Amino acid sequence: QVQLVESGGGLVKPGGSLRLSCAASGFTFSDYYMSWIRQAPGKGLEWVSYISSSGSTIYYADSVKGRFTISRDNAKNSLYLQMNSLRAEDTAVYYCAREGDTGLLYWGQGTLVTVSS
Amino acid sequence: DIQMTQSPSSLSASVGDRVTITCRASQSISSYLNWYQQKPGKAPKLLIYAASSLQSGVPSRFSGSGSGTDFTLTISCLQVEDFATYYCQQSYSTGTTFGGGTKVEIK
């Protein structure tokens, strides 16, 4: 069955960096576009970034552009999010999700990133 | 960016009630509209895709309608397990956007 497992979250000081990972299994990872979506505590869902199956096409939300970098390693069935210059407003649960023609059918369980001094 | 506006932001209902949630897009998105259910501490779950197609395994009491800018999610007979927060999402443009959510609470 399809599984997405995020890791790498934690507590970081403002201005710091963190790298999130998403390990995929149960499907041919290299066939699918992937996204990172976040949810601040008690708030709604916010799309963060998106990467094509080959990694050649990437988009970012304006709120993270220039600070976050999405990447993937199809040989390792893994998706990454490098987060630099972190701010308090980046505090959220970060989910990876598999893109598809019929919506975001598969999501990970999420990993919590807390930016605080 | 396409803005998605959901209403109401919250509602109270009883088991057995018919519940309707609306979602409006800031521009036409054809039928590129999906609905999700989220329970506390869990990832969102896809309910409806392409505005009106029921995701496999989702109970038939859930239905979606609409096209262009105005969309509706209806729960025909609310069950205990349906108390949750619901989000719409446009997949028309790259850089998907979500509505602000509708929390369905027990009356």
pLDDT confidence bin for B95, thresholds 50/70/90:
confident
Provide the percentage of residues in chain B whose pLDDT is more than 70: 100
pLDDT confidence bin for A101, thresholds 50/70/90:
confident
Q: SS3 letters for B1-54?
A: CCCEEEECCEEEECCCCCEEEEEEECCCCCCCEEEEEECCCCCCEEEEECCCEE
Question: Which residues in B lie closer than 8 A to residue A50 (C-beta atoms)?
Answer: 94-96
- The predicted pLDDT at position B81 comes to 96
The single-letter code of the amino acid at B31 is S
pLDDT confidence bin for A76, thresholds 50/70/90:
very high
Q: Name which of B49, B95, B99 is nearest A47 (Cβ-Cβ).
A: B95
Q: Name which of B43, B89, B94 is nearest A109 (Cβ-Cβ).
A: B43
Taking an 8 Å cut-off on Cβ atoms, the answer to whether A44 and B36 are in contact is: no
For chain B, positions 16-35, list CB contacts with chain A under 8 A. 34
Q: Which residues, 6 or more positions from A95, have their beta carbon under 8 angstroms from its beta carbon? A: A6, A36, A37, A38, A39, A107, A108, A109, A110, B43, B44
